Amino acid sequence: MATLSEPQRPGAPEHIAEPDEPTTAKVVAAIMAFDTGLEPSLKAVQAQVYEVTRIVVIGGEEVTATAAELGVERHASLGGLVQDLEPDIEYVWVVHGDALPRPDALTALTKEAARNDAAVVGSKVLDAADPEHLESVGSATDVFGDAYSGLDEGEVDLEQYDVVRDVAFVLGVSMLVRRDLLRGLGGSDPLLPPVAAGLDLSQRARLAGARVMVAPSAEVMHVRSCGHDFGSWSETAGRMRAMGKVYRPVTLVWVVPVDLLIGLVDGLVHLVLGQPRRLGGFLTAVGWNLRHLPSTLSTRRAARALRAVGDEELFRYQVSGSVRLRELGAEVGGRWQRAVDDEGALGGVATRFSGRAPLAALIAVFVLGLGARGLWFGTPPSSGFTLPITDDPVSVMSAYAGGWNEAGLGSPHAVHPVAAFTAAARWLLFGWDATFRLVTAGAMVAGLFGFARLLRRYEITGPARYAAGLAAVAGPAWLWFAGRAYWPGILALGAIPFALDAVLRPWPATARGRAGRLGTLAVTFGVLAAVTPVGPLVPVAGVVILVAAGLAPPGPSLAKSVVGTVLGGVVLGSYLASASVQTLLDGGVSFDREPVWWMWAAVLAASAITIVGGGSGSRPAAAGALAAGAGLLGALLAPWEVAVASMALAGVGVALVVSAAFGSGPSGGGWRGARLAAGLVASIVVLTTLSSVPGGTAGIGGDEWGRRLQFAASLDESPGSSRILLVGEPADLPGAWRSGPGFAYRTVTGSTMTLDQAWLPPRRAGDSGLEAALEELMVASSLRPGRLLGPFALRWAVVVGDSPFADAVEAQLDLRPQPLAVGVQVYENLDVVPRAVTDTGVIWDVGGGIATGSPIDGRVRIADNLAPGWTPGVEADAWAISASASAGRAAHIPDPTGRALGIAGATVLVLGMLVAVWGRARP
């Protein structure tokens, strides 16, 4: 900390310049008080060869006593002062209260002002603690207002800049300003910090046609107790405000967004460099400016009134490009250079890398975003089980809770819980179209950071955690899901680290903490249960594996996982009540299961090498291998829902192995060479995450079915009044499928294939009837296949690829080929029977288990599977529903048990979330 003393440059002869031409202009010195230590500055001003007329301290009430004590007057603001000054005062010398001007400083200032007809003249500012070092000799700026002094850090003053010249701005540490100009400008902006205040005043002065110059012979020592910090958030905010005041709109239109972008980049890079405050400062500055926008606009109007020149006059004193980006480049380059110079060895780089977790997180998020960019910026995919979330979330939620499931030919069986879960998300977001994107992004990011957090438990730190998280959510496990376009897999990978973490963390000591933990268990296990009914068993299996590897205590963790499983079961209650054991296990889904074996071989190899290398990573590596192996076995051989859960477990294994291989580091003990090799192999696993980058849709197909079925939506006069028959190879069809005579098929109710229809409910009479109709169609090469399909309300048949179905309907009378979609063959059924039609041929609207239309004294046939719960006066019409049409309405009454269980499940989930948040907060 420098102390104020008589300003004297060490080793330099006493320097008192004589003015070439004596001036007689009256000057008032305005000492800007930042604290109460004004005396040295006051004395230095009083000691000026060129005597001032008055000395006024500018400051708040806190300096009143000091001013009185020093025998000088005080004024609250510079603006206020200039309003009160006598007309014969020509200049106001603004001096910071921590500045120590040399005795001849004012002489030099007044002389140069007079000689150059300058309205603002600044001083050369030297560091009071080390007067050899230059702080400022006037500055240029870039167009964004960032100061560019041209000085190197700690640059010694050799009088190399001692040239009187025009500059973009001068520091407010010492500046002589013409009184009339200062009065017109309203003084300096009291909201601005020192540097920004100088910039602001200089720019406004220049805009008013005044010259802004620096007089290097007017030397001032600066103690820097004024809070003078170019990089502070307040200076950033002030710079933005100063910019906003002076530029014309045409300049602001591009300057503001570019400035924001630069600030963001600068902040993010500094975040990566371990300086998060820069980003925080930038964001704070933006917020500050938003808050003070009205005041900025009003001062801008005032400045405009004085404008005498255009923005070009400001540009003349600006450097090209961005000072901040230049500095950023220099800083990054410097760091790299130091890293190379200082270390040069792998261990050094690794050591540096270990401190780069934010960089790794950023890269991981970037890779995830890049690999799935098509999901954010293009049409969302529509293939396999990656399908749009319904437009009618309430119906789907109802269908989960005892209502009517529209999938297939209709069923009272609950829709798959993941469909209800995503429908609820869309409902909560007021039907927002981007819900699918949001849920996907949320799951990806949650998985990435969830795994990173989970792995910290095993002393794996630094970027390894994020590399492992990336490999878990976008590596071999996800690629297996993506190969089947099984989108719910990403939800499983997103939820499982949190479920495991909730199980593995010690049981809280407080009741509130315990409640919060229970809430966390309910939410995480509930989400896993939504993805697959056996999902809650994954953490149980994970715990067993971790226990086996000695990474978790057996008792408490298992107990917590059992509690979580029970809670997950409660969330899933409605589905469990309506589904058979077989449905719970296979979901009615069948897939080719083959994984990309070499990726898994790499995972197992990395685990083996890590164990060979010894150190702290060997146990997680072993546990990871077991999780991966067990997961693979389940994924390949178990029924589908179990396979999904198993692959999620395998994803945990990938995370453990990769983190262990990377995470031990060269200083982690054991055989260093083996660990380096393990890291190399693990890198291959991590690099698999890049395989989605070329396609850009996270490995999932594109918008196949949205595009293919677009015609149906366009031509559907009454939504939901008919169905579409999809025919092709199993892998070509969206969602689940049924096996037909030589082809796979499924139906779509309405005109859009949505996620809730992806899972076909268990077979009922109508489904058997449709199967029989298709067999008859194929066996007899029927002349009227449309008549066979018509009773199922199948208005369209869409055939993908070469199918025996297409051959069978090549020569027939009532399936008219229509060129309505590219890449598929579309047939319009001329013999279609509307989904809900009365005896008299009146078509009713139908959807969500409700059919409505004109009442008639007769019956209405609804081409949905006959099932209990339909009213009124329901009879069987073969496999379909025949209801009384006299009321103009026929509906399925939701099963009360299913409804109650559904509501209970939702309640547990919502309460769990609330309690989890409440429980985590500090009381």
Partner 1 sequence: MTRWLVWAIGVALAVAAWAAPPIGLDGDDAVPPTGLPDYRVCAMSAAPDAELRLVLGSDRPGWAPVTIITAAGSDQPFSLAVNEAGGGSGVLPSSAPAGVVVEELGQASAAALVQSGPTGLAASMCPGRPAETVALAGLSTLEGDSAELVLANPYAEDAVVTVRSTSELGLDTVAGLESLTVPAGSLLTRNLSEVLALRTTLAVTVRSERGRVAASVRYAPAGGGVANLEAVALETEWWIPIPEAVADLAIVVATDSPSAVSVQVDVYGLEGVIEAYVDGEEVDTSRLLTLTRQDLPEGVTAVRVVASAPVVTGVVFRGEGSAAGGSGATGLGGRWLLPGAGSSEGAETIVWVMNPDPADVTVVLQALVPGARAEPFTVFGESVLGIPLGGGPVPGQLLTADGPVAVAWTARVEAGDRAYAAGVPESG
Binding positions for partner 1, rule: CB under 8 A: 545, 548-550, 590-594, 597, 600, 604, 607-608, 611, 618-619, 621-630, 632-633, 635-637, 653, 729-730, 739-744, 775, 778-784, 786, 804, 808, 810-817, 827, 830
Task: Give 819 or 923: the residue with its C-beta nearer to partner 1.
Answer: 819
Task: Give 227 or 742: the residue with its C-beta nearer to partner 1.
Answer: 742
Task: Give 375 or 623: the residue with its C-beta nearer to partner 1.
Answer: 623
Shortest Cβ distance from residue 741 to partner 1 (Å)?
A: 5
Shortest Cβ distance from residue 462 to partner 1 (Å)?
A: 22
Shortest Cβ distance from residue 403 to partner 1 (Å)?
A: 29
Report residue 848 as tokens.
């969500």
Query: Under a CB-based contact definition with an 8 Å cutoff, are residues 35 and 95 in contact?
Result: no
Shortest Cβ distance from residue 594 to partner 1 (Å)?
A: 6
Shortest Cβ distance from residue 749 to partner 1 (Å)?
A: 23
Provide the Cα torsion 858, 860, 861, 862; round to 10°: -160
Provide φ and ψ at 878, rounded to 5°. 55, -120
Question: What is the maximal distance between C-alpha atoms in the chain?
Answer: 118
How many CB atoms are closer than 10 A to CB 53?
15
Task: Give 416 or 619: the residue with its C-beta nearer to partner 1.
Answer: 619
Shortest Cβ distance from residue 632 to partner 1 (Å)?
A: 4
Shortest Cβ distance from residue 775 to partner 1 (Å)?
A: 7
Shortest Cβ distance from residue 155 to partner 1 (Å)?
A: 59
Shortest Cβ distance from residue 683 to partner 1 (Å)?
A: 20
From residue 38, alpha-carbon distances to 63, 70, 97, 174 in Å are 9, 9, 5, 15
Shortest Cβ distance from residue 647 to partner 1 (Å)?
A: 11
Query: Under a CB-based contact definition with an 8 Å cutoff, are residues 452 and 468 in contact?
Result: yes
Task: Give 341 or 594: the residue with its C-beta nearer to partner 1.
Answer: 594
Task: Give 528 or 627: the residue with its C-beta nearer to partner 1.
Answer: 627
Shortest Cβ distance from residue 617 to partner 1 (Å)?
A: 10
Burial (CB count <10 Å: 0-12, 13-18, 19+), residue 268? middle
What is the rounded CA–CA span in Å between residue 286 and residue 867? Answer: 60
Task: Give 409 or 815: the residue with its C-beta nearer to partner 1.
Answer: 815
Query: Under a CB-based contact definition with an 8 Å cutoff, are residues 777 and 785 in contact?
Result: yes
Task: Give 109 or 808: the residue with its C-beta nearer to partner 1.
Answer: 808
Query: Under a CB-based contact definition with an 8 Å cutoff, are residues 105 and 220 in contact?
Result: yes
Q: Give the DSSP H/E element, type plus range, for residue 893.
A: none
Shortest Cβ distance from residue 285 to partner 1 (Å)?
A: 52
What is the rounded CA–CA span in Å between residue 56 and residue 79? Answer: 12
Query: Under a CB-based contact definition with an 8 Å cutoff, are residues 811 and 841 in contact?
Result: no
Shortest Cβ distance from residue 682 to partner 1 (Å)?
A: 15
Q: Give the DSSP H/E element, type plus range, for residue 766.
A: helix 765-780
Task: Give 171 or 635: the residue with its C-beta nearer to partner 1.
Answer: 635
How many CB atoms are closer than 10 A to CB 429?
15
Shortest Cβ distance from residue 624 to partner 1 (Å)?
A: 8
Residue 156 pairs in a beta bridge with 133
Task: Give 616 or 886: the residue with its C-beta nearer to partner 1.
Answer: 616
From residue 222, alpha-carbon distances to 3, 14, 171, 233 in Å are 10, 18, 11, 21
Query: Under a CB-based contact definition with an 8 Å cutoff, are residues 748 and 820 in contact?
Result: no
Query: Under a CB-based contact definition with an 8 Å cutoff, are residues 754 and 422 in contact?
Result: no
Provide φ and ψ at 109, rounded to 5°. -65, -50
Query: Under a CB-based contact definition with an 8 Å cutoff, are residues 317 and 166 in contact?
Result: yes
Q: Which amino acid is at 274?
A: G
Tokens 């400045």: give the residue: 303
Q: Give the DSSP H/E element, type plus range, for residue 456.
A: helix 435-456
Task: Give 371 or 769: the residue with its C-beta nearer to partner 1.
Answer: 769
Task: Give 53 or 590: the residue with its C-beta nearer to partner 1.
Answer: 590
Shortest Cβ distance from residue 759 to partner 1 (Å)?
A: 16
Task: Give 220 or 647: the residue with its C-beta nearer to partner 1.
Answer: 647
Please enumerate in sequence order all residues whose Cβ is within 8 A of that of 683, keeping only pairs 6 or more positions apart, or say none: none
What is the rounded CA–CA span in Å between residue 538 and residue 703? Answer: 31
Shortest Cβ distance from residue 580 to partner 1 (Å)?
A: 17
8-state DSSP, 613: H
Please enumerate in sequence order all residues whose Cβ is within 8 A of that of 637, keeping only pairs 6 or more positions apart, or say none: 593, 643
Shortest Cβ distance from residue 519 to partner 1 (Å)?
A: 32
Task: Give 259 or 732: the residue with its C-beta nearer to partner 1.
Answer: 732
Burial (CB count <10 Å: 0-12, 13-18, 19+), residue 208? middle
Nearest to 537 by CA among 444, 418, 644: 644
What is the rounded CA–CA span in Å between residue 71 and residue 65? Answer: 10
Q: Are strands 875-877 and 870-871 parallel, antiparallel or unpaired?
A: unpaired
8-state DSSP, 717: S
Task: Give 210 or 628: the residue with its C-beta nearer to partner 1.
Answer: 628
Task: Give 186 or 615: the residue with its C-beta nearer to partner 1.
Answer: 615
Tokens 């901040």: give the residue: 324
Q: Are strands 212-222 and 99-101 parallel, antiparallel or unpaired?
A: antiparallel
Task: Give 827 or 870: the residue with its C-beta nearer to partner 1.
Answer: 827
How many CB atoms are closer than 10 A to CB 775?
14
Nearest to 613 by CA among 681, 684, 669: 669
How many CB atoms are closer than 10 A to CB 810?
10
Shortest Cβ distance from residue 808 to partner 1 (Å)?
A: 7
Task: Give 20 or 592: the residue with its C-beta nearer to partner 1.
Answer: 592
